[in-house]
Amino acid sequence: MSEWAQFWAVDLHVHTPGSSDARAEDYGTAEDVVSAAIAAGLDAIAITDHNTTTWCEAVAKAAAGRPLVVLPGVEISTDEGHLLAIFEEGTACSTIDDVLARLDIGRADQGKLDIAASVGFAEAAKEIVKAGGVAIAAHIDREKGLLRIPVPATLTRTLLEPCLSALEVVDLGIRTDVGNKIGSRRSIAYVQGSDTWDAAISRHSIAGIGARRTWIKASRPDLVGLKHALGDPQLRVQLGAPPPAVGYPMIEYIELIGGFLDRQSLALCPDLNCLLGGTGAGKSLILEAIRYALDQQVDRQAFPAIHAEVYARLRNALGAGIAKVEFRSGDVRYRVERAFSGDDDAAPRVWQHTGDDWIGIDTAPQELIKLAAFSQGEVLEYSRQPVGRMSLVDAGVDLSEVQSRIADTEGHLRDNATELLVARARVESLRASSAKEPELAEQVRELAALFDTKVVKAQAGWTKDASTLTKARTAVDQLAVHSLACPDATVAGEIAANEDLFTQTADVVRELGDEIRAAEQGMSSAINTARTRLASIHNQWQQRKAVFATELDAELAKVSQGSSLTTLRTHLESLQTKHGAAKASKDELDNEALPNLQQLDQQREELIDRLHRARGERREIRRGRVAELNGKTAGFVKLNVPAEGDFADFRAALGTLKVGSRVRDDVLDAIARYTYPFRFARLMWHGNINELADDSLGIDSASVARLVANIADRDLWGELLELQLVDRPDVLTMRFRKPDDGQYVAIEDLAHGQRCTAILVTLLADGTTPVLVDQPEDALHAPWIEEYLVDRLRSLRGTRQYIFATRSPGIVVSADAEQIITMRATAGRGECEASGSLERHNLNQLALHHLEGGRVPFQRRSDKLQPSIVDEE
Print the SS3 string covering 46-101: EECCECCCCCHHHHHHHCCCCCCEEEEEEEEECCCCEEEEECCCCCCHHHHHHHHH
Q: Across the beta sheet with 6-14, what order do the strands follow? A: 189-191, 164-168, 134-137, 82-86, 69-77, 44-47, 6-14, 214-218, 237-238
Task: Determine the length of the chain.
Answer: 873
Q: In Å, what is the CA distance from 83 to each residue of 107, 164, 212, 773?
A: 18, 9, 17, 45
Q: How far apart are CA 76 and CA 56, in angstroms?
A: 15
Q: What are the φ/ψ torsions at residue 144 (nearest 5 degrees)?
A: 65, 20
The CATH code of the domain at 6-238 is: 3.20.20.140
Q: How far apart are CA 347 and CA 202, in angstroms?
A: 67
Q: Degrees (nearest 5) of the Cα angle 533, 536, 540?
A: 140
Assess contact for 775 and 377: CB atoms under 8 A.
Answer: no
Instruction: Report the Cα–Cα distance between both ends of the chain, in Å, rounded.
Output: 41
Q: How far apart are CA 744 and CA 633, in angstroms?
A: 13
Q: In Å, what is the CA distance from 805 to each residue of 310, 650, 755?
A: 15, 39, 20
Residue 191, SS3 per DSSP: strand
Q: What are the φ/ψ torsions at residue 9 (nearest 5 degrees)?
A: -90, 125
Q: How many CB atoms lie within 10 A of CB 824?
A: 18
Which residues touch 270 (CB under 8 Å, ≥6 apart)? Answer: 246, 248, 250, 801
Q: Which pLDDT value is given to residue 1?
A: 47
Assess contact for 700 and 588: CB atoms under 8 A.
Answer: no
Contacts 24+ apart (CB under 8 A), 843-851: 846/276, 846/820, 846/822, 847/276, 847/812, 847/813, 847/820, 847/822, 850/276, 850/277, 850/278, 850/807, 850/822, 851/276, 851/807, 851/808, 851/809, 851/812, 851/813
Amino acid at 669: D
The strand pair at 819-826 and 203-204 is best described as: unpaired
Residue 840, SS3 per DSSP: coil
Bridge partners for 372 per DSSP: 771
Q: Degrees (nearest 5) of the Cα angle 317, 318, 319?
A: 100
Assess contact for 46 and 14: CB atoms under 8 A.
Answer: yes
List the one residue out of 219, 168, 142 whose CA is nearest residue 11.
168
Which residues touch 828 (CB under 8 Å, ≥6 apart)? Answer: 260
- CATH class as words, domain 403-484+541-609: mainly alpha
Q: How far apart are CA 473 and CA 53, in angstroms?
A: 114
Assess contact for 251 and 231: CB atoms under 8 A.
Answer: no
Q: Residue 237: enclosing H or E segment and its boundaries?
A: strand 237-238
Q: Which pLDDT value is given to residue 556?
A: 65
Using the CB atoms, write b or e for 754-770: b if 16+ within 10 Å: bbbbbbbbbbbbbbebb
Q: What are the φ/ψ torsions at residue 657 (nearest 5 degrees)?
A: -80, -25
Amino acid at 297: Q
The ranges assigned to domains in the chain are 6-238, 250-386+732-872, 403-484+541-609, 648-723
What's the whole-model pTM score? 0.76
Q: What are the φ/ψ torsions at residue 137 (nearest 5 degrees)?
A: -70, 125
Four-residue CA torsion sign, 291, 296, 301, 303: negative
The CATH code of the domain at 250-386+732-872 is: 3.40.50.300
The strand pair at 349-354 and 332-339 is best described as: antiparallel
pLDDT tens digits for range 588-624: 889 999 999 999 999 999 999 999 999 999 999 999 9
Q: Residue 372: enclosing H or E segment and its boundaries?
A: strand 372-374
Q: Degrees (nearest 5) of the Cα angle 207, 213, 218?
A: 135
Bridge partners for 85 per DSSP: 74, 135
Q: How far apart are CA 89 and CA 10, in angstroms?
A: 14
Burial of 27 (0-12, 13-18, 19+ CB in 10 A): buried
Four-residue CA torsion sign, 59, 61, 67, 73: positive
Burial of 184 (0-12, 13-18, 19+ CB in 10 A): exposed
Q: How many CB atoms lie within 10 A of CB 261?
A: 27
Residue 858, SS3 per DSSP: helix
Q: Across the beta sheet with 733-737, what order do the strands follow? A: 637-640, 733-737, 744-746
List the one residue out of 245, 246, 273, 277 whose CA is nearest residue 771.
273
List the one residue out of 50, 143, 144 whose CA is nearest residue 100.
50
Q: How far apart are CA 237 and CA 243, in angstroms?
A: 10
Q: How far apart are CA 744 and CA 751, in angstroms?
A: 14
Q: In Å, what is the CA distance from 160 to each residue of 119, 124, 174, 331, 357?
A: 17, 14, 17, 45, 56
Segments in the chain below pLDDT 50: 1, 873
Bridge partners for 826 per DSSP: 829
List the one residue out of 406, 411, 253 whose CA is nearest residue 326.
253
Using the CB atoms, write b or e for 391-410: b if 16+ within 10 Å: ebbbebeeeeebeebbeebe
Q: Tell me whether the CATH fold assigned to 6-238 matches the one assigned to 403-484+541-609.
A: no
Q: How many CB atoms lie within 10 A of CB 834?
A: 17
List the one residue out of 372, 371, 376 whose CA is nearest residue 336.
371
